Amino acid sequence: MKATSNDQLQVLDIQRMDFALATLTHKMASLPEIGELLAVGQRLAVVRDLAIAAQTQISDIGRELLRSEADVEQVVLRLEKDEKRLGDGSTGAKELEKLQHEIGTLKGRRAELEEIELEIMMRIDSIKDRLNELRIEEGVLNDQTRDLTSRKELASAELQNKIELISQERLATANGIDKSFLDLYEKIRSGGGTGAAALKEGRCDGCHLAINSVELSRMKSIEPDEVVRCEECRCILVRGAK
């Protein structure tokens, strides 16, 4: 294939722009804010799950507290009734002894139930404290998410602007190159390698390997518009590039 020296130099410019575009695209996809947002988002999900679990615990223990309060209330009512009977003096000696024993038993039972009630209330308070800590952390994580999102969008916009400018320049440059020659470049580049590279000091600037002396002599002897390719990486070798 033949291509003018200008087209060959232009396709080398295209290669430089493609490398710049690939670098910018990779940079956009690997912004530090992306990883930080992922970590914050994962922690936020955990915190929200823990908060839901804590709220569920509070609800469950709250029902347990209601049952405990009902148990205490029943004992208190029974105790008040017995103490009233004891106080009105209407009971006989035998019944009085039995009543006093029952009152003592009820007081002991009330003390046990009130201790259980207090323990339940302390459990609820502990979980409420933990829930409050989780809500504070959630607020901090939400602030971090907003800050990171803003920084990511700003950085992405700057990179996208550079990508668009280079893309416009690439399009303008490509429009001035012979289509068949440009198609060859695109085909080579689509294979994942370098599409075009300069021949510098007897080396391919794409794979950075030295060209053997026989091939180098052949390249020097053929016309400037003859398209040559690196024997190692198969990219288009552009002679006369600075």
pLDDT band, very low/low/confident/very high, at 22 (cuts 50, 70, 90):
very high
Domain spans, the chain: 5-22+176-238, 25-169
- CA 184 to chain CA centroid, nearest Å: 40
CA distances from 174 to 20, 99, 207, 240 (A): 16, 107, 24, 20
Band (pLDDT 50/70/90 cuts) for residue 119 is very high
pLDDT at 7 over 80: yes
pLDDT at 79: 87
Is it the case that residue 87 has pLDDT exceeding 80? no
Average pLDDT rounded to a whole number, residues 218-229 = 92
Structure tokens, 67:
């049952």
128-157: per-residue pLDDT in tens?
999 999 999 999 999 999 999 999 999 999
Does 208 have pLDDT greater than 90? yes
Mean pLDDT (the chain) is 92
Q: Which amino acid is it at 13? A: D
> Residue 65 pairs with which residues in a beta bridge?
none
3-state secondary structure of 218: helix
Residue 178 confidence (pLDDT): 95
Whether 9 and 225 have beta carbons less than 8 Å apart is answered as: no
Tokens of 16: 């430089």
Residue 33 has pLDDT above 80, yes or no: yes
Q: Is the pLDDT of residue 94 over 90?
A: no
Q: Percentage of the chain surpassing pLDDT 70? A: 98
Q: Does 99 score more than 90 pLDDT?
A: no
- Average of per-residue pLDDT across 227-239: 93
Which pLDDT score is estimated for 90? 64
Please write the tens of the pLDDT for every residue from 156-196: 999 999 999 999 999 999 999 999 999 999 999 998 889 99
d(CA 191, CA 181): 16
Question: What is the C-alpha end-to-end distance of the chain, expressed in Å?
Answer: 23
Is CATH 1.10.287.1700 the right assignment for the domain spanning 25-169?
yes
Q: Which amino acid is at 195?
A: G
Q: Does the structure show a pLDDT above 70 at 231?
A: yes
Query: Which residue stretches of the chain are H helix?
Result: 5-29, 32-87, 93-174, 179-190, 213-221
Around Cβ 27, how many Cβ atoms within 10 Å?
14
Lowest-pLDDT choice from 94-103, 116-125, 184-193, 219-228 = 94-103
Is the confidence at residue 241, as pLDDT, over 80? Answer: no
How far is C-alpha 84 from the chain's CA centre?
A: 68
- DSSP one-letter code for 199: E
pLDDT of residue 39: 97
Mean pLDDT confidence for 91-120? 85
Residue with tokens 């518009």: 225
Tokens of 86: 């004891």
Query: What is the DSSP code (8-state) at residue 5?
Result: H
Comparing 9-18, 37-46, 48-57, 106-115, the range with the smallest average pLDDT is 106-115
